Amino acid sequence: MTELDTGIPHSARVWNYWLGGTDNFAADRAVGDDFARLYPDIVVVARSSRAFLKRAVTHLAADQGVRQFLDVGTGIPSAEHTHQVAHAVAPDAQVVYVDNDPLVLAHAHTVLKDDAVYLDADLREPASILASAGLDLTQPVALILMNILGHIPDLDEAVSIVRTLMDALPSGSYLVTADGTNVLDGPAFTAAIDVWNANAPLSYHLRHPDELSRFLDGLEVLEPGLVPCARWRPATDDVRETDEYAAVARKP
């Protein structure tokens, strides 16, 4: 296993910190705090994103009968993560997590046991992910790409990765995706992202929803479409929009 470098912040650990988790280090908390001073809504973004993931996975497992979930760039499996949400509806659901952070790997081996499979792989190598995931590609798969495509600087490359993954999945599969945008509070979010990019080895790039919509090309986008996370089928109308847009789409 690759040796952990606790002195360099990593997106999975910073995200865990914003969610209130404990699987992070001083470097992660320092950057997380610097980020939050510039953009306090990041904590709301993180929690709204997790709530969207919960609603989307519940819908796919309960209402669409999906029993295979491929969560790429999953981060640290914590409260109400994909395997917990899916298994609450369908205990027989197969969940494959993909990430390339050594801390995520160590944590996954400790807590997941037989609840999910963890694959140490890189989003930039989609063919390798597909070859190693061990999924039944004759049956629908929910591909989950949450807050990961923004780490691919070139939009065309990010679109190509999504298409490679979705092209390999059968009809009736789904894409669940969300990423940061720059439309509601762009200057503040951009300034905070600049802090992140100056301190972390893996940069992140905010995109306009029109750019994010390219990930959905050729798919049937479920209502209400590509919207702020909190607006995707909320349990209440009392929601707070933030600069992260999400969608769920079906492969015809």
Q: Which tokens is 118 given?
A: 């963890």
Give the integer Cα–Cα distance in Å for 83 and 89. 10
Topology at the third CATH level for domain 11-250: Rossmann fold (3.40.50)
CA 154 to the chain's CA centroid: 18
Q: What is the pLDDT of residue 239?
A: 85
Tell me the pLDDT band of 7, cut-offs 50, 70 and 90: confident
pLDDT of residue 4: 62
pLDDT for the residue 105: 73
Q: Specify the 3-state DSSP secondary structure of 76.
A: coil
Interval 76-121: pLDDT, tens: 777 788 999 999 999 999 999 998 877 777 777 676 767 888 899 9
Of 67 and 9, which is predicted with more confidence?
Answer: 67
> Who has greater pLDDT, 157 or 28?
157
pLDDT band at 126 (very low <50, low <70, confident <90, very high): very high
- pLDDT, position 203: 92
Is the confidence at residue 2, as pLDDT, over 70?
A: no
E strands present in 5-134: 68-72, 94-99, 117-120
The shares of helix, strand and coil residues in the chain, as percent rounded to the nearest 5, are: 45, 15, 40
Query: Which sequence spans correspond to the domains of the chain?
Result: 11-250
Which is nearest to 148 in space by CA: 43, 55, 241, 73?
A: 73
pLDDT band at residue 6, thresholds of 50, 70 and 90?
confident
Model pLDDT, residue 3: 56
202-220 pLDDT per residue, tens: 899 999 999 999 999 999 9
Name the DSSP letter for residue 222: P
